[in-house]
Structure 1
Amino acid sequence: MTKIVILAAGMGSRLGRSLPKPLTTLNDGRSIMGQQHDNIHAAFGPSAHITTVVGYRAETIVEAFPDVDYVYNDRYDQTNTSKSLLRALKATGKSGVLWMNGDVVFDPRVLGRALALIEADQSFITVNTSKVSDEEVKYTVDAAGDIAELSKTVVGGLGEAVGINYISRADKPALIAQLNKVDNQDYFERGLELAVAENGVQLRPLDISDLYAVEVDFAEDLDRANLYV
């Protein structure tokens, strides 16, 4: 069974709320994390196995969603998503893992589109080719169409990484090894980029440009997300 991970340890200070960002309420009454749970269960069924990485005000998330497994990043204020994902991958055994940032509001059809690659146990990242902004994680591809570069500093990026990704059972050990090595302040994309460069991991871009996916960092992102839900 596919293991599903939500990364929700960060303080989310840019949004300016006291609660963890995944608990932010959307216009339809659900929280950001609530719509993620709904989307996961729509794609994988009611028994989908979710593990959430928590840190900042962890008890508020655990109280809101008591029926999932939790991994605690006690260094949430000193580390970035690379180390939260590392803890989650170690906690989920040998199986492939689908993971997402805890602040992404996205179209339920995104996970439906990803199912074929997950069933084939093919590592991938979801991408949006309709916009490429400086502050987002960007990517390029190699001659085979797989991911070559993946970072905020990519020049000539083909699009943006959306924050919903999958690592196969076979590729998981390489990603764990790279996440162990990267800097505490690195995003998990650095581990993926190194796994591609140094371990030969084939990482597919899954284009979801025609569907919505909004990573909520600022108030204007929340406004945009609320136009969809």
Structure 2
Amino acid sequence: MSSRSQEIAAILTRAILDHRLVPGCKLGERELSEIFNASRIVVRQALIRLADDGLAQIERNRGAFVARPSLQEAVEIYDALTLVENGVAGQLADRLGPAGWAELRQHVERQRQAFASHNHALADELGEEFHSLLVRLSRNRVMQEIHAQLVRRTRLLRSLISADFEYCHLIDEHARIAELLEKGRVKQAAELMSSHYRRVVHGYIMDRAVYPERTPREALAPYLSPGAAALSAPGDDDDREGHAP
């Protein structure tokens, strides 16, 4: 993938995770090539990257769309997260020193304080980061890469209405998971992580969007520097719009 394709993929990813490009939004190659002043081949490479990350769906003869996750997919994503995190749990229990456990406890306390001060956006961000911190502390780069990709896919789920999240309970579970791992009670920690993620999945109500729909040009405008968009794109005009790679 070219550096330009990576740049476009990063901007599209950010727009999706910021809920500006909502599930089901058409990502037309021609329109995106005009917005980014890039060839359709370059744009196509970026869309393939998004599809690999689970953020877009590419349909033959229809083109690319922002992914519209189902409840079953949500269950499968969180099952995969559970497997990854349970996989590093034993390593943490055996290898992590006092400084690492202190970092986990401090992180949970920051999340608790954010929630208490009604900064729910920060509390939500710290809640997600708790799980990423668990994996980072394992120092296993492969696990970190797999986990990061799954986390990106959970962010897409947040473009759906979330309800019945008992945030106090979820925060308490973070504290309890850290406590159990520090005490070497890996099996109990793993069981709690599994039930914790099931609780999160059940907090999603599917198919009710909470973010306004925008055209790709409107959605991407904040991420483009002045002059970045252009009226036309060079090359590849003979490619058919919506043809799957």
Higher helix share: 2
Normalising by structure 1, report the TM-score.
Answer: 0.25
Structure with the largest fraction of strand: 1
Pair member with larger Rg: 2
The structure showing larger relative contact order (alpha-carbon pairs under 8 Å, at least 6 residues apart) is: 2
